[in-house]
A and B are shown apart, each in its own frame.
Chain A
Amino acid sequence: MGATTLTTRADETGLAPLHRPNKRWTRFILPGFTWLMIVYLASPIFVMILYSFNDVPVVPVKQTPKFWGFTLRWWRDPFGVPGMPEAVRLSLEIAPLSALVATTLGALLGLALGRYRFRGKGPMNFLIFIAIAVPEIVLGSSLLSLFITWPDVPVLGSFAPGLGFTTILLSHIGFSVAFVAVTVRARVQTLDRSLEDAAQDLFADPVTTFFKVTLPLIAPSILAGFLLAFVLSLDDFVITNFVSGASATFPIFVYGATRIGLPPHVNVIGTMLFAAGVLAAVANLAIQSWRARR
C-alpha cells in the first residue's frame, strides 16, 4: 500500500525516473553475443548430425570434409564397421554399472557432507575438490601406476585385475563418485530441516523419516547425479585410454579411427547417444517441474 502511494507521488511530481530502460541498440549486444555463443558451442553437433547422412563414396568408407549428398545408408547399418559393435557394447556395459555404484557411494557421501558436522569433513571435502580439479592425465597415469604395481604386492597381488573391463570400471567409479557427491550435497544443504523435525515430532523413527521425507526430497539430485555419472563414463577418453589395455570403449575406438579415417557410422552412433542424452535431461527437467507444480 505504502509503496504504491510513493510511486504515484513520484509520477505526479514529474521527477525523472532513476532507471531509464535502455532504448539504444547496445541493449542487443549481450543477448546477441550469448546466442552466437550457443550456435558456436552447438556447431560441431550440427556437423556431426549432418555428416551422418553424408553419401561418401563406398571404398574406402571414411568421412570427408566434402558433402556428397544425402543417404540413409549409415543409419540403416550403424554398426557396420569391424570393432565398433564391441566398443559400443563395452561402453554401454560399463556406464550403467559405474553410474550405479558411483551414485550409491556418492549419494551417501553427499548426504553426510551436506547434513552433518563430523571430524574428517574438511579433508573429505578437499578430497572431492581434488577429484574434480585434477587433470585427467594425472588421474589416468596414477591409476595405471596402481594397476601395474598391484600384481607385485604380496598376498593382494593375486587379486590384481588385468587391464580391461575391471580396471576401466574401477576407474570410472573413482572419478564419478565426487561429481555425484557434489550434486547431492548441494541439494541436501538447501533442504528445509523443519520437514524432518515435523516427521519426528509425529513419532516417525529416523529410518521412516529418511525414506518418507528425506529421500523423496533429494531424489531428483540423486537422479541427476546418476545421469551425470553415466555420461561421464560414456564420454571418458583420457583416463580410459590409460587403463583399458587392449579393450576399447566407444571413445577409444573413435580416437583410433581418426588415424585411418573416420567411418560415417561414428556420426550415426554419436547422434543416437546425443539424442538419448538430450531426452534424459529434458525428461529429468520435466519431472522436476511437474513435481514442483504439484
Chain B
Amino acid sequence: MATGTEERVSAAPARRGAYARHRRTVPYWLTAPAGLYLLVFLVLPMVILVYTSLQSGGLFGGLRFSWAWENYTDGILQYKTQFLRSIVISGIVTVACLLLAYPMTYWIAFYGQRWKSSILLLILVPFFVSFVIRTVQWRFMLGDNGLIFGPLKSLGLLPQGFRVLATPFAVVAGITYNYLPFTALPLYVALERIDKSLVEAAKDLYASKWQAFRRVVWPLSLPGVFAAFLLTFVPATGDYVNAAVLGGPGTRMIGNIIQETFLHSVNYPLAAALSVVLMVAMLILASIYARVLGTEDETLTAAI
C-alpha cells in the first residue's frame, strides 16, 4: 500500500519532466502564426510605406527608389497648415474627451456597484453602428435647418444665419463623439482598479472629499489618463471622415490630404511621406508610453 502511494506521487513529476522539453517550445508554436501574420501585414507594410515615401518619379515614368527626402520637406512645407490644424483640433478633442469621460467613468467605477458592466455596455452599445453612419446622423442633427438648430431658429432663439456644419466646431464635435469610447475605456479600467479602501483610509485621516480625490484617486488614475491620451490623440490626428462629412473646405485635416493624394492624385511617394510623419509621431508617443508604463499595462489593453 505504502509503496503504491509513493510510486503514484513520484509518477506525476516524472510525467511532467517528460513534457518539460516540449513545453519550452509551446509558447513559440502558439505565437508563430499570429506573429508571422502581423509581421507580413503590419510591420512589412510600414516598412514598404517608408520605402515608397523615398521613391521619386511619376506614375507613368515608373517609380524608382532614390532616397528622395524631398518628399518629406516638400510635403511638410506644402501642407503645414493642415498638419498644424490636425494637431490643434486633435488636442482640443483630446481635452474635451478627457473632461467628458473622466467624471462619467469615475462615477461608474466608484458608485456603479453591481450595475457597473451594464452601464458600461450602455455607453458602448451605440458603437455597434458603423461610424460612418453615426457621423452622417450628426450631419442631420447639426445641419443648418437640422434637428437641433431648425426648431431653435423657427422659435427665433437663434439668428437665421447661424451655422455649425462646415465649421471647425462641427469637426471637433464629431471627432469628440467618435473617439469618446477610446478615452472612456482606459480611464474606466484605471479607476476601477483603484482600491476603494484607500479613499476610506484618506477620509479616516480627515482628508476632505476633494483632498482624497486630489491626493489618492487622481495620481492612481494617471496611467489611465496617459493611455486615454495615447488612444485618443494619435488616432484623432489622422481622422479624415469627420472633416469630410461634417467640415467644409476650411477644415481639411492631414488625413484628408493623405487620402486624396493616395487615392485621387495617386502621388504615392508624397502621400506615403505624409503618412510616415504620422506613423513616426505615433511610434514616439507609444515608445514613451511603453518605457514609462510597460506594454503589458492593463489600463491600455484590458479595456479593449
How many B residues face the partner with a CB closer than 8 A?
96
Known A-B contacts A34-B108, A37-B104, A37-B123; the reply to A137 vs B286 at CB < 8 A is no
Majority SS at the chain B contact face: helix
Please determine whether A30 and B107 come into contact, CB atoms closer than 8 angstroms. yes
Known A-B contacts A41-B180, A174-B41, A238-B241; the reply to A179 vs B304 at CB < 8 A is yes
* Nearest B residue to A109, CB-CB: B34
A179: B residues at CB distance < 8 A: 304
Please determine whether B283 and A130 come into contact, CB atoms closer than 8 angstroms. yes
**Chain A positions 1 through 28: 1 when the CB is less than 8 Å from some CB of chain B, otherwise 0:** 0000000000000000011000000000
Q: How far is the CA of A44 from the CA of B242 in the complex (A)?
A: 14
State whether the Cβ of B72 lies closer than 8 Å to any Cβ in chain A: no
Please determine whether A138 and B279 come into contact, CB atoms closer than 8 angstroms. yes
Partner of A41, one of B37, B126, B286: B126
* A242 nearest CB across to chain B (Å): 7
**Chain B positions 132 through 156: 1 when the CB is less than 8 Å from some CB of chain A, otherwise 0:** 1110111111010111001000000
Partner of B203, one of A19, A131, A281: A19
Please determine whether A65 and B133 come into contact, CB atoms closer than 8 angstroms. no
A77: B residues at CB distance < 8 A: none
Query: Could you list which residues of chain B lie within 8 angstroms of chain A, going by C-beta atoms?
Result: 11-12, 15-16, 19, 23, 26-28, 30-31, 33-35, 37-38, 41-46, 48-49, 51-52, 100, 103-104, 106-108, 111, 117, 119, 121-123, 125-126, 128-134, 136-141, 143, 145-147, 150, 177, 180, 200, 203-204, 230-231, 234-235, 237-241, 245, 255, 258-259, 262-263, 268, 271-272, 275, 278-279, 282-283, 285-286, 290, 295-296, 298, 300-302, 304
4 tightest Cβ-Cβ pairs between the two chains A and B:
A135-B238, A277-B128, A142-B45, A44-B137
For the complex with contacts A141-B272, A177-B37, A186-B302, 16 further pairs of A-B residues with Cβ separation under 8 Å are A44-B137, A47-B141, A48-B133, A65-B140, A109-B35, A116-B26, A121-B27, A126-B295, A127-B42, A132-B300, A136-B235, A137-B275, A142-B42, A241-B263, A254-B132, A254-B136
